Structure 1
């Protein structure tokens, strides 16, 4: 039923991929020989060829992120040019483009709306790939695409290497006395008969010290190490920007931002910048008040010059003072297995989907695999890898492997996906105990996964997250996050791992009340990142100094906190230089408007666990994947347009 995750032949991947790509080219050539091309005899098999390549290459690229080694790096670097060359060659094949165009023109009346959407997307993407260009420009585009892929991978590898290279050893208990016990247990080691503590730039460890570390000098040491990682990425950024500018100019665009928007929901550049600036203006006054509150609180410790490395520490103290909210108190109630099982119960309650753990090949002993069923029928599979490891890239993400579709024989192909996080690892003595923010992250990534896995679109090219505009792809993930703050939902899994005691109503209320703590500061920070990203791609910034100046100018205008000059945030901005968010980081806030508005429908219904409304959401938003534009699907679900004020209301910025 499902393909197994099998990389026993990993070192042979290059040869296997070459054979697969050569066979795929041969199959496409045979399709092009068909005289009377139709959707069924040309588009459908063409779509399946692409899906089979994706199914082969995804685990190879995935393993480099979750089990990084010299072998995975070599295999990645061997396979990347092959897949890049193939994709560029296919996407620039004028014969395929004209065949798709002919089918669109000749068979338009006999095609259904999903098939029309597939053709519209494919024809648009062929144009964006330069299929209309002369051979010289096609050749140059091919070179640019390969080089950009290599640079993105190098950017990411540099970050991983430097994250793993840093260690901060502390042998004075006074410097760690406020660290939560579960984090301290992970940091503790014995050397020369003395107890010492090791902190790294792995996210659970870094967050632990920057939030609870008592020694201000040590907080600055780990902060500085984190925000000065991979200085060599500055030159990589220069090259990425230069090559992207050349690429989009060849394709006829003024800048990379306008190229990026050609596949997004936002209509033009000014709509994006106006949206972000509106959020910044509406949130700045409140953000200044929030910052002043931290400064006043820090003065109790004699801190008159609050610095960036103090913010998390004093914010956490202030939050505890205001809401009596102690993250360490909650963590025993959020044991990883308990959270997962309760989360699955919640998803069954609202979406009528059941998760059943199954045996399957995995890349690490801590990875769990579940089959998902609906009305007793297995419909999907998910791999869940939650704990931080040294050989694992930082952050959290969902990666789609197989898509749901109906093949040319009429057979149903089932979808699969991976969820990857970096939560505190379990030890021999202690299970993996999560922060509530980790729980929110899990809900977020599951929102992405369900968008892909619950699709019932018969065409792979617009099934699940395929074909979904990038600036609305965060809608389902952010929407699911809101449920992680609901009392009924939390009671399904917030149970003490030793006593079985359920988290009290009072303790849950503290989490809910604290949700919007410093929400304006958080929003302004996201707007800062998004404006920097978007403006960076509106014209060519030629060197590191120009890039830094742009970031400084945005901070001068909109930010209320200024980091030290040594902070080189951009060198670690993997979302836009090693991910898919270039000129699209605004998507997080753009999509949040939809998610906040959708969640308000549940609040306004008087019942957050509203199964009828949840099933409507599943059937309207999730099952339709990329087969319709998200603004159409949202209107079908809500019977109205989304409002920016819903986001500002849910974040407590306006009442």
Structure 2
């Protein structure tokens, strides 16, 4: 029998089965609460596994709704959210479970191992953050808030997906696609009444292609305007979400949502986050102004937001004689994937073996992961853009490594989703180098989840890891996509099999930090906006005013007034990054520091890489990342490593 469940979702019977599972779980909770002498083994462990099994049932539906979105998946997913949210809210507010956990923590203090102590510590914190200690009226209100929040987040995401799917711009003058890479032209080309035309959409590969290479400024602006004005109805959702989060924080005894969010993160308080971000702004600004001057010279006109990618590409070609299109034949998707597997084998001793199984789409694939020739996990991949698939890239965990109540081992599994250029019988999927970096990034997350050696699922893999440390393994791995010795493992011309020439690698490495200070300011703008937005209740125009005030310090090219970036900021309004977007930069300090340690030891002979596998990847969330990082590097993280990585110092 396979150690991994078959990927199947019975849509017709899903809601019925979900209700049955929830009902059975509720009965099980009541039964467990009746145990006279509660212990970790007879009380906490069964509750942990109960949650794990429910998640394994629910995750395939949410995954399907993201990668094969239909009216049916939307309807069933939307109907399941109140059920799952009400169930988890009641569970997280159950005072009897909370008290039992506190008693077990006190009673078994000496006999519990580190993983078990961490499970109790995090659960007790989560019970307090969920209001288990509050009166019934407050608990009921929190329950209502959680259900409404999950519905609004889902609506936000669906509005964005619908708007992205609905828009297209048809170009019928061949002059307007001059300068576009041939592969992008081929993807956009279609015939209507015998006339060749080109279709551009807001799907990322299509949008990026025109905004970067399209000569016609008016078309660039039309696409840009369509992109930054998507889903205007999300403005109302934002107001409602912020109001609910503010009320929730107040009920739980926090002065705002930001301080509620920080209760479970590495960063100690609001001041430490804002100071960290503002220091990075001041360290990056002088270099960013110089970078903008260079761009202005090339453009010979005041730059608009829809110009920056286009003129950046011209400047990049001029400065480094680098043409993205020349690189793409060396980054054929399959070759990149195989090369990344080879790199991981050399770095950590892990190997991948393709599995033949039917998945949700014919382009999806799966691999079994082996460590020291022992089956460790399964990896699923869905890498190409298509209609009905959410934009962006992400890693999702299916199973978590753990041992069940009887001590039987459960192996981990994870899925990586990207939106790379689609392959066809006529043309392969040729990636930009940015796509290669994205694949390495998501693989870093997947390894963190799949290589865990932790026996308790709630602190295994990515579970239990502080949110502002969760990007550490992904950013650590993505840095290697610029290393010459790594690139040579997979960068081969898909037609000639020629390995990428040294001078092309040299140009790529030199161009790595091209306009990096401007890029840094953009990310800091998002981080400061997100964090400050959650320090008090902002509504309506006040949200735009806050964003504009932050842009005074961070945006050297002033965006047009119609730019409603916030309506598409799904990381914080439909994902888990509310008051936590700063985490990318916070974690990047850790990743840059560890990365330099490995490179300075010669990458493939690195002792730090070996320690990283055993301490960080195998360690999951069983200890705070503060502790794990010190175990890895024998010191505190050095913030200057982040500036060094970005070429700013």
TM-score range normalised by the length of the shorter chain? over 0.9
* Residue in structure 1 matching 2:586, options 564, 585, 590: 590
Corresponding position of 1:519 = 516
TM-score (norm 2): 0.99
Q: Is the 8 Å Cα contact of residues 178 and 215 (structure 2) preserved in structure 1?
A: yes
Secondary structure (helix, strand or coil) at the match of 1:11 reads coil
Corresponding position of 1:579 = 575
Corresponding position of 2:545 = 549
Q: Report the alpha carbon displacement of residue 561 of structure 1 after superposing the two structures with TM.
A: 1.8
Q: Is the 8 Å Cα contact of residues 351 and 611 (structure 1) preserved in structure 2?
A: no
Q: Report the alpha carbon displacement of residue 8 of structure 1 after superposing the two structures with TM.
A: 4.8
Q: How far apart are the structure 1 equivalents of 2:7 and 2:112?
A: 38
**1:219-618 residue pairs with structure 2 within 5 A?**
219-299=220-300, 304-543=301-540, 545-605=541-601, 607-618=602-613
Corresponding position of 1:197 = 198
**1:94-105 residue pairs with structure 2 within 5 A?**
94-105=95-106
Q: Is the 8 Å Cα contact of residues 9 and 60 (structure 2) preserved in structure 1?
A: no
Please give the root-mean-square deviation of Cα atoms over the aligned residues, in Å: 0.8
Cα deviations by residue, 1:311-353 (Å, 9 ceiling, x for unpaired)? 0000011001111111110111100000000110000111111
Q: Report the alpha carbon displacement of residue 608 of structure 1 after superposing the two structures with TM.
A: 2.5
Corresponding position of 1:167 = 168
Q: How far apart are the structure 2 equivalents of 1:382 and 1:476?
A: 16
Q: How far apart are the structure 1 equivalents of 2:40 and 2:5?
A: 31
Q: Report the alpha carbon displacement of residue 5 of structure 1 after superposing the two structures with TM.
A: 4.1
TM-score (norm 1): 0.98
Number of aligned positions between the proteins: 648
Cα deviations by residue, 1:549-577 (Å, 9 ceiling, x for unpaired)? 00000011232121100000000000000
Q: How far apart are the structure 2 equivalents of 1:632 and 1:218?
A: 52
Secondary structure (helix, strand or coil) at the match of 2:378 reads strand
Q: Is the 8 Å Cα contact of residues 602 and 608 (structure 1) preserved in structure 2?
A: yes
Secondary structure (helix, strand or coil) at the match of 1:550 reads helix
Q: How far apart are the structure 1 equivalents of 2:355 and 2:386?
A: 23
Secondary structure (helix, strand or coil) at the match of 2:559 reads coil
Q: How far apart are the structure 2 equivalents of 1:46 and 1:259?
A: 25
Corresponding position of 1:150 = 151
- Find out whether 1:636 has 2:631 as its counterpart: yes
Unaligned 5+ runs, structure 2: none
Secondary structure (helix, strand or coil) at the match of 2:369 reads strand
Greater shift in the superposed pair: 407-416 or 555-564: 555-564
Secondary structure (helix, strand or coil) at the match of 2:424 reads coil
- The runs of at least 4 aligned residues of structure 1 exceeding 2 Å deviation read 1-8, 608-613
Q: Report the alpha carbon displacement of residue 12 of structure 1 after superposing the two structures with TM.
A: 1.0
Q: Report the alpha carbon displacement of residue 114 of structure 1 after superposing the two structures with TM.
A: 1.2
Greater shift in the superposed pair: 531-540 or 290-299: 290-299
Q: Is the 8 Å Cα contact of residues 5 and 59 (structure 1) preserved in structure 2?
A: no
Q: How far apart are the structure 2 equivalents of 1:432 and 1:4?
A: 30
Secondary structure (helix, strand or coil) at the match of 1:355 reads strand
Unaligned 5+ runs, structure 1: none
- Find out whether 1:51 has 2:47 as its counterpart: no
Q: Is the 8 Å Cα contact of residues 285 and 517 (structure 2) preserved in structure 1?
A: yes
Q: Report the alpha carbon displacement of residue 360 of structure 1 after superposing the two structures with TM.
A: 2.2
Q: Is the 8 Å Cα contact of residues 9 and 61 (structure 2) preserved in structure 1?
A: no
Greater shift in the superposed pair: 553-562 or 173-182: 553-562
Q: Is the 8 Å Cα contact of residues 245 and 256 (structure 1) preserved in structure 2?
A: yes
Q: Is the 8 Å Cα contact of residues 63 and 363 (structure 1) preserved in structure 2?
A: yes
Secondary structure (helix, strand or coil) at the match of 1:468 reads coil
Corresponding position of 2:138 = 137
Corresponding position of 2:124 = 123
Q: Is the 8 Å Cα contact of residues 386 and 423 (structure 1) preserved in structure 2?
A: yes
Q: How far apart are the structure 1 equivalents of 2:295 and 2:416?
A: 35
Secondary structure (helix, strand or coil) at the match of 2:13 reads helix
Q: Report the alpha carbon displacement of residue 516 of structure 1 after superposing the two structures with TM.
A: 0.4
* Residue in structure 2 matching 1:622, options 617, 623, 644: 617
Secondary structure (helix, strand or coil) at the match of 2:461 reads coil
Secondary structure (helix, strand or coil) at the match of 1:109 reads coil
